[in-house]
Amino acid sequence: MNKIVAKRHFSENVVELVVEAPLIARARRAGHFVIVRADEHGERVPLTIADADSEAGTITLVVQAVGESTRKICAKVIGDCLHDVVGPLGQATHIERVGTVVCCGGGVGVAPLLPIVKAMKAAGNRVVSILAGRTKELIILEEEIRQSSDETIIMTDDGSYGRKGLVTDGLEAVIKAENVNLVVAIGPAVMMKFTALLTKKYEIPTVCSLNTIMVDGTGMCGACRVTVGGRTRFVCVDGPEFNAHEVDFDEMIMRLHAYDNENK
Amino acid sequence: MDIKEIRAAHRAETWREELRKSKSAKERMSQPRVKMPSLSPETRIRSNNEVNCGLTAEMAMAEASRCLDCADPQCVTGCPVGIEIPSFIKNVERGDFRAAAAVIKATSALPAVCGRVCPQEKQCESRCIYHAKMGKEAVAIGYLERFVADEEMAAGEITAPVAAPCNGIKVAVAGSGPAGLAFAGDMAKLGYDVTVYEALHEIGGVLKYGIPEFRLPNKIVDAEIDGLRRLGVKFVTNCIVGKTLSYDDLHRDGVRGIFAASGAGLPRFMNIEGENLNGVMSSNEYLTRINLMGAASASEDTPVLHGRNVAVIGGGNTAMDSARTARRMGAENVMLVYRRSEEEMPARLEEVGHAKEEGIRFLTLRNPIAYLNDGNGRVCAMRLQRMELGEPDESGRRSPVPVEGAIEEIPVDLVIVSVGVSPNPLIPRAIPQLSVSRKGTVVVDESTMQTSVADIYAGGDIVRGGATVILAMGDGRRAAACMHRALSGE
């Protein structure tokens, strides 16, 4: 079983869990995710792998409690087990040396961004990371991101930490100051949408990682489907990363609300 | 001895000769085919209980006595796994149900499943002499198979078939659906060290996530899987060959042969306007939420969308399962939308009949062309194009063509798309040396089920696209026989 060997709180509703999963730790690469079921009655929930230690046989997950299932996962303590963990799933991030890469993370999106920042840096890129959150308490993994970035910018909506403003304000300042070859954006759908709109204006290639509703995570059901470049794609097998300029974010946001009224 | 000589020897056994002589052929032929007792439509749509109730021992023995014990039984040739049908049926007739079970188990790993879900009218029963030569109803082979398996389970004395001594050779199976289970059963009987890897958290593939409880109870599937465990088959859930474990990982673990049976899980959509609206989903998603995740039950966390006016698009068994499930989920008006006429429907006749009894409305010769948005992103209506049948296509079926201008709009709040599946791409993507057809199916030598990679065999829907449980099992058996030949040097 998948025992939890370490846990820390980033904020009241955001926790980091280090989980025993030796086969996944060995096989995973940046961009991969897992499907987790907290207990025998649980839903299957997709979570991106934030880090892994193949020697210790562990993977790191960052979870924000937003609903019943994520609350159950966040409530687990060291020594507890996750009932099911399967992966690594999805296509790994395409990593190559392109020059300057700006990595933008919003909220818990910083967790899946971390392995990409590390891999982009290891591939010889100049990496500028922009971490954004509503308020200071919601900025996570700052130290880890700083260690792998050439420059790190913090943005908060309320100005409680770093610069005041949205991720797009920080990004536009970087774009104006230097030549940017690639932007990677991971966070709430609306944040990725506006990041994509901004970089489209500057014609900078942009990759986003979509976090849609999933069930199996293996291409079997199509719950996660999105329209990319006019075609229906399955986030779990074709993604989760796509060219942000081709994603129909409005449709994706609409689909994220499918179960809002479905109270059990 | 070849199979025909063995068959003749069994048929010549004293008890069987005496049994044949105990009743005249005329007497046997004058009996009507047994009717399967079932729950009434009014009761069954209020529960998830199995609709077909099974035969009593008296019914089964009477039905078994209809079988003429043909010298050259054609029913056997209609069975994809080659069950010795007259031999098991004659054991039922004389009341030796355990012996009957042993006959079936010699060739079939999942009799309680196959007796329930095989389209017997297209397989064994279609070749029965009653049907093929006399214009009478075939012997109810499927009902009898199910009776024998259920009887054994109820007696709690399930005997595992005798397995050869362990030969220490490791083989791996990707996928625990019917093809993988049949392969695993045969290889274990031959003495191999078999491990089945399953991506989901439960064993059984489509038998668990797809076919609903009212047609195939999960406890039946679990009991048959336990039978395989007793044979020594190991099961690993939450493990995806090609993702969690690579082809090289399996080799490093000493695996000498791999059977790829990951199915055709990838649902097809029609790419029409509004298909990504909320409330439009694949039958795989709908059935998985309900069957595998228990979304109908308050104790399970997984939700599912409900609808009052539900449309199911398609005419196969999965469409019937989805429509009948929607009825049980409380939908008032369930419509089945099919672009051809009822005659061309690929679903089993029995399922079509059950669906109609349960009040499903059949809107045939209609094809959806768009789904309309209620303003909040949820589907509120479907636009249907009326069709008529034109010339026969390559498959011999008359292809539907639109009737110009004949378009209607019908209110719906849930649409379940059940227009077929494509092979799951995970394994072909993970093993690029595998030769794959234009449709995405894994290419195999049809006589051996061997793929373009020498130690990988494949079968079931990953090779066929969406097909049936029993064809998948037949593939599994063939692959096992051929891999055994290759690995043992016989």
Structure confidence at residue B483 as a pLDDT band (50, 70, 90): very high
H or E stretch including B327?
helix B317-328
Is the Cβ of A181 closer than 8 Å to some Cβ of chain B? no
B-chain CB neighbours of A227 within 8 Å are: 276
Contacts of A88 in chain B (CB under 8 A): 243-244
Tokens of A126: 């100049």
Closest chain A residue to B277, measured at CA: A255
CB-based contact B267 A222, cutoff 8 Å: yes
Q: Are A69 and A41 in contact (CB under 8 A)?
A: no
Percent of residues, chain B, with pLDDT higher than 90? 77
Residue B422 pLDDT more than 90?
A: no
Burial class (CB in 10 A: 0-12, 13-18, 19+), B165: exposed
CB B146 within 8 A of CB B177: no
Which of A221, A232, A264 is facing B284, going by the closest CB pair? A221
Region of residue A141 (phi > 0: left; psi between -120 and 50: alpha; otherwise: beta): left
What confidence tens digit (pLDDT) does each residue in A140-157 have? 999 999 999 999 999 999
Q: How far apart are CA B34 and CA B139, in angstroms?
A: 9
Query: What is the spatial distance between Cα B338 and Cα A258, in angstroms, rounded to a whole number?
Result: 26
| Contact assignment for A218 to B426 by CB distance below 8 Å | yes
Judging contacts by C-beta atoms under 8 Å, the chain A residues touching residue B279 are 258
A52 CA to chain B: closest CA distance, Å?
14
In chain A, which residues have their Cβ closer than 8 Å to the Cβ of B209?
A: 220
Task: Evaluate the omega torsion of the peptide bond into residue B267 and state whether it is cis, within 30 degrees of 0.
Answer: no
Question: Nearest C-alpha of chain B: how many angstroms from A123?
Answer: 23
Per-residue pLDDT band for A264 (boundaries 50, 70, 90) equals very low
Closest approach of A223 to chain B, Cα-based (Å): 6
pLDDT of residue B168: 92
pLDDT in tens, A91-127: 999 999 999 999 999 999 999 999 999 999 999 999 9
Q: Is A91 annotated as a binding residue?
A: no
| CB < 8 Å from A in window 47-76 of B | none
- Cis ω for the linkage preceding B165 (within 30 of 0): no
Please give the backbone phi and psi of residue B159, each rounded to the nearest 5 degrees, phi first: -100, 130
Contacts of A232 in chain B (CB under 8 A): 269, 271, 275-276
- Mean pLDDT of chain B, nearest integer: 92
Which residue's structure tokens are 């409690």?
A65
Interval B338-390: pLDDT, tens? 999 999 898 988 899 999 999 999 999 999 999 999 999 999 999 999 999 98
Distance CA A89, CA B430 (A): 12
Count how many residues are written for chain A: 264
**Residue A74 labelled as part of a binding site:** no
Closest CA to B258 of B176, B170, B188: B170
Q: Enter the ipTM.
A: 0.94
Q: Is pTM beyond 0.90 here?
A: yes
Residue B221, CA distances (Å) to B79, B108, B147, B150 in order: 20, 14, 15, 11
User: How many CB pairs lie under 8 A apart between chains A and B?
Assistant: 119
A83 touches chain B (CB under 8 A): yes
- Between chains, do A27 and B306 touch, taking CB under 8 Å as contact? no
| CA pair distance A183, B160, nearest whole angstrom | 59
User: Would the pLDDT of B160 be above 80?
Assistant: no
Token code pair at residue B261: 């049976």
pLDDT for res B158: 67
As a whole number of angstroms, the distance between CA B18 and CA B317 comes to 42
Q: How are the residues of chain B apportioned to helix, strand and coil, as percentages rounded to the nearest 5?
A: 40, 20, 40
Q: What residues form DSSP beta bridges with B258?
A: B172, B456
Is B231:B185 a contact under the CB 8 Å cutoff? yes
Task: State both tokens at B460.
Answer: 């079931």
Give the span between the Cα atoms of B62 and B34, in whole angstroms. 8
- State the pLDDT confidence band at B234, using cuts at 50, 70 and 90: very high
The answer to whether B278 touches B377, Cβ cutoff 8 Å, is yes
pLDDT tens, residue by residue, B183-196:
999 999 999 999 99
B267 CB neighbours in chain A (<8 A) are 220-222
**Is A202 near chain B, with CB under 8 Å?**
no
Residues A61 and A7: their CA atoms lie apart, in Å, by 10
Cβ-defined contact of A221 to B267 (cutoff 8 Å): yes
- Residue where the block lists tokens 């040739």: B77
pLDDT tens-place string over residues A176-228: 999 999 999 999 999 999 999 999 999 999 999 999 999 999 999 999 999 99
